[in-house]
Structure formats: structure tokens, C-alpha cells
Structure 1
């Protein structure tokens, strides 16, 4: 029986999560229908645009994404600290961009004040919206429902477009995070949809490479900030240059099938995280096959499973071998 989403997502353990949504029956509803020859490729653009649009208003940052023909991969960061610092006006402005809100919230935004007897109701509503704006389930709902409605309208039909639940994995440490991001960014290369990361349509890696050519980082994605010893700014704890090299080297091996032709042990990120090159290739290419609801070292994973109430520790032995 699937575990409740509230038990799978624990911000106190990690703010990073890998989320996967699949089309019903795994049909190619976002790609090209082999039976009719009709292309639905443009829907991948819908998903990408909606994803990056939502990240502007939610306190959830996009670390990596890949929009495939029949499923999507996202690596998300929940910025709980920022959400808690928002004023009442900022919370309502963000929420009203997506929804109408209530008569009371609309009245407050128009007049800047409310009668005293309505203030407790306003405060409770604002806190509800604040929680939603840093909730991964609400983020995925806002993303997937919008795409489903557009697709059904285009197809002149009703019914499900996505499977009932999206899959989420907690990424408990830096090794799990970097492995999952590389796995997501290389999905089109691994699926033989594209030949190189920089030509992979509707992926975060293409957007990062394009911006890097202009010595910038995309404003719509959670930035790389390196790994300073103190005064750590908000962002991914890796150097962008190291990550791009790592993805490129891994992608070359995947594409040509020459598993041992490039020595990945020289990649600075793998040296710092102490991941052997052969382990890296396994987890970066087959991440979902060897992981379960959470990914991390044995100790962190055991503590997480105990905290969220798992009676068993699924795939912990395999994860231990790969990320020890």
C-alpha cells in the first residue's frame, strides 16, 4: 500500500526531493503517437513553461528537470526559510497570481485593512496559503492539473492524463543529490532521444549550458554556489563548472557504451564526495532501479526510515554499496 505523502516528505531531514510523474498507461501522450503519427511534442514545452512559471511564486526551487515523452523528472528544493519570512501581503500576492483567493483576502489586498473581527480569519487563511506555497504536493498539483486540462481540451476528451500519484524520493545527502541531478539531466541521452546534453530539449542541463556560455546562471533554476567553508549562500553546494564536466563525461560513456573509457575518478565532485567512478556510473545511469523512497548513506537512510515510520529499509544494502 502506498505510503502517505506527508510521511514521505520530511523537510527537517532534507529539503531536496526527486519527483516523477508518468502519463496514464505510460502512453506517449507528450510525444509522437506511433499509431496515428500525430505529434504531441509541443506539450513538453507546456510542462517546461508551467514548471518554471510556478517556481516564481512557490517557495520551491527547481534544481534539475527533464520533460520526456511520457513522464517528467524534477529535482526540487523546498526553501522553507524564505516562505516563513514572507509578509502577509507577499503571501497573498503570490497566491492570488495562481488563484482568486477568498472575499476576505481580496478585500484586504484592495484596502490594506480589515475589521478587527475578520483579522483572525485572515491570519489563518494566510498561514494556509503559506504552507501550500512550500508544499511539494501542491506544487505538483498546480503543475500536473494545468497540463492535463490543456491536453484534454486539445484532444476533446475527459479523464486522467497523469497517473494518480507522483513518485517522490528524499535526497538525504550531497552524493544522493548530485547523482539524482545527473540522472535527470542525462535522461534524454540515456533514452537516445538526444545525442548530447546541450541539445537535450526541455531539460535543465540545456538551459544551464546556454547561460554558462554567457557566463551566467539561469534565473529560473536554483543556482550552483560552490562549496565554501563558511558563509554558505543559498544554492546547490557544487561548482557549476565541475557539474557540467561531470555530466558531459558521464553522457559520453552512456552514449558510446564505453563504460571504462573515461576515468571519472578525476572529476572533482566525485573526489570530494568519495564516490568511486564505477559506482557513479551505476547510480547515475540506473538511479531509479537501485533506490527507493529515499537516497543517502546507510546511517542517514536508516535514521530517515525510522523517523518516517518504515518497518523495513528497502534497497538500503544496494544504496550502501553505491554511496558508502
Structure 2
């Protein structure tokens, strides 16, 4: 039985989560219908645009995404510090960009004076909305609902668009994070939808690669894609906000890995090539396994045995899922 979402999300363990949603019956509802040959590729654009727009309202950063024909992947970072610093007014304004709010919030935004009791009640709602604005379940729920409504209106039908609830994996350490980022960015290459990562449509890696080529200093966070979580550089004690790797190192690694996993170019990564693998102390053979079968190798918790043990304790669980794979691939 699937675990409740509250038992899978724990900010004390990690703020990074890999989420996957699949179309009902794995149908190509965002691609080309194999029966009618009709194209629904434009729906991938709907999803990409709304994903980026929604992240600017929530206190959730996008680390990576890949929108396929019948499913999509996204790596999200919960930014609790930002949400905690929002003012009373800002929380309400953000919530009203997503939903109608309630009678009290609508009157407040209209400038109508509220009584002290009404203000106190509105504060309760505001704190509830603050929690929801950094909640992955609310983020994914709204995103999926938006796309399904658009698609059903276009098809003039009703019913499910997505297959049940989304899948979530907690990324407990830097190795798990790097492997999952590459796994997501390389989805179109593995599916033979693109020859290289930088030519794959509706992905974060294409956005990052295009921006990096035009930037004067591509590793500087201010010269990276504004809508995506920046790469801040190698991990250190006082590292600026962002992913703990250099963008150029990551792009090089993903590009090389993408060429290695194509059907017409089987091979392995040189032991001496990508410095990021040395930094993370990941064996090249293990890296290829991670970036081609990340979902099948791990369940909802992904990390080295130490990080896994800490997360198990925080979540008050008894079993360590996929401990052998965590020891083999991430130690």
C-alpha cells in the first residue's frame, strides 16, 4: 500500500524531491496518438509554461524537469526559508494568484476594514496557506489539475487525465541529487526523442545549455536561467543558494552520459573525464546505472546508508527501502 504523502516528505531529511506523473493508461495524451496520428505535442508546452509560472508563486524551486509524451519528471526544492519570510499581505496575494481565497481574504484585498476577530481568523488562514505554498502535494495537484482541465476542454470530454497520484522520491544526499538530475535531463535521450540533451525539447537541460552558451560567465548564478534553481558551485561551508555543483561540470557530464546511453553509441565514461564524478566519488559504471534506471533502483528514499538511516529515524519507519542498491550505487 502506498505511504501517505506526509510520511514521504520530511524537510529535516532533505528539501529535494523527484516527482513523476504519468498519463492514464500510459497513453500518449501529450504526444502523437498512435491510433489517429493526431499530435498533442502542444500540451507539453502547456505543462512547461504552467510549471515555471507556478514555481514563481510557490516557495518551491525547479531543479530539473523533462516533459515527455505520456509522463513528466520534475526535481523540486522546497524553500522554507523564503516562505517563512513572506509577509501577511504577500502570502494572501500569492494564494489569490492560485485560488479565490475566502470571503475574509477577498474583503481584505478590497480594502474593507475587518474586525479584530476577523483579522485573527484571517491570520489562521494565512498560516495555513503559507504551509500549502511550500507543499509539494499542493504544487503537483494544481499543476496536474490545470493540464487535465485544459486537455479535457480541448477534447470536449471528462474523466481522468493522470494515472492516480504522483510518485515522489526523497533525494537525501548530493550523490542522489546529481544522479536524479541527470536521470531526468536524459529522459528524452533514453526514449530516442533527442540525440543530445541540449536538443531535447521541453526540458530544463536545454534551457540551461542555451543560456550557458550565450552567457559571459555561465557558472555565475546571475547569468543562469532565472526560472530554474541555479548551480552555485562546488559544495563548501558558506556556499551561496543553489545546487552544489558547477554548471559547466554538470553540463559536460550530462552531455557525455547522453552520448554513452544512446542505442547507437554504447560505451562507458572514462575514469578521468568528468571532475564532478570525482567530487561525488561515484564510480563511472555506477553512474551509468544510476542515470538509466534511477526509478527502478530506488523507492521513495534515495541516498547513502547514513543519510538513509537518518531519514528512516526522522520518518519513524522500521525498514530501509532498497538498502542494498543504496550501498552499491551511492556509497
> Do they superpose with TM above 0.5?
yes
Q: Conserved in 2, the CA contact under 8 Å of 1:249 and 1:264?
A: no
Q: Deviations over 1:135-191 (max 9, x none)?
A: 000000110001000111111111100012100000000000000000000000011
What residue is the counterpart of 2:265 in the other structure? Answer: 257
Note if contact 1:60-1:78 (Cα within 8 Å) is conserved in structure 2: yes
1:278 is aligned to 2:307 = no
Secondary structure class of the residue paired with 2:128: helix
Asked whether the equivalents of residues 64 and 204 of structure 2 are also in contact (C-alpha less than 8 Å), the reply is yes
CA shift, 1:312, in A, is 2.4
Q: TM-score if structure 2 supplies the norm length?
A: 0.95
Q: Secondary structure at the match of 1:77?
A: strand
Following superposition, the deviation at residue 214 of structure 1 comes to: 1.7
Q: CA deviation at 1:100?
A: 1.4
| Cα separation, partners in 2 of 1:8 and 1:265, compared to 1, 3 Å | farther
1:159 is matched with 159
Task: Mark the CA change 1:277 to 1:231 in structure 2 (over 3 Å): closer, same or farther.
Answer: same
Partner of 2:200: 200
Unpaired runs of at least 5, structure 1: none
- Cα distance in 1 for partners of 2:10, 2:44 equals 30
In the TM superposition, residue 264 of structure 1 has moved relative to its aligned partner by 4.8
Match of 2:301 in 1: 294
Distance 2:156 2:271 in 1: 50
State the SS of the aligned residue for 2:210: helix
Distance, in Å, in 1 between the alignment partners of 2:272 and 2:72 is: 30
Number of residues of Structure 1 aligned to a counterpart in Structure 2 = 323
TM-score (norm 1): 0.97
C-alpha contact (below 8 Å) 1:29/1:40 kept by paired residues: yes
Work out whether 1:318 is the aligned partner of 2:318: no
Does structure 1 retain, via aligned residues, the 8 Å contact 2:80–2:134? yes
- In structure 2, the partner of 1:106 is 106
- Partner SS state of residue 227, structure 2: coil
Which runs of structure 2 are paired with 1:162-177 in the superposition (5 Å)?
162-177=162-177
For residues 231 and 308 of structure 1, the distance between their equivalents in structure 2, rounded to whole angstroms, comes to 28
In 1, Cα distance between equivalents of 2:304 and 2:112: 50
Alignment match, 2:32: 32
Instruction: Sort the Cα spacing of 1:176 and 1:162 in 2 relative to 1 into closer, same or farther, 3 A.
Output: same
Aligned to 1:237: 244
For structure 2, the residue ranges without an aligned partner over 5 or more in a row are 216-222
Q: Give the drift of 1:57.
A: 0.2
Q: Report 1:180-219 matches (<5 A).
A: 180-215=180-215, 216-219=223-226
- By how many angstroms is 1:113 displaced? 5.0
Q: Which residue number corresponds to residue 314 of structure 2?
A: 307
Map of 2:13 onto structure 1: 13
Distance (whole Å) between structure 2 residues aligned to residue 116 and residue 88 of structure 1: 15
Counterpart residue number, 1:49: 49
Deviation of residue 258 (structure 1)? 2.4
User: Over residues 246-267 of structure 1, what are the superposed CA-to-partner deviations in whole Å (9 max), with x where a residue is unaligned?
Assistant: 001100101243222x405431
C-alpha deviation, 1:307, in angstroms: 2.8
User: How far apart in 1 are the matches of 2:197 and 2:95?
Assistant: 35
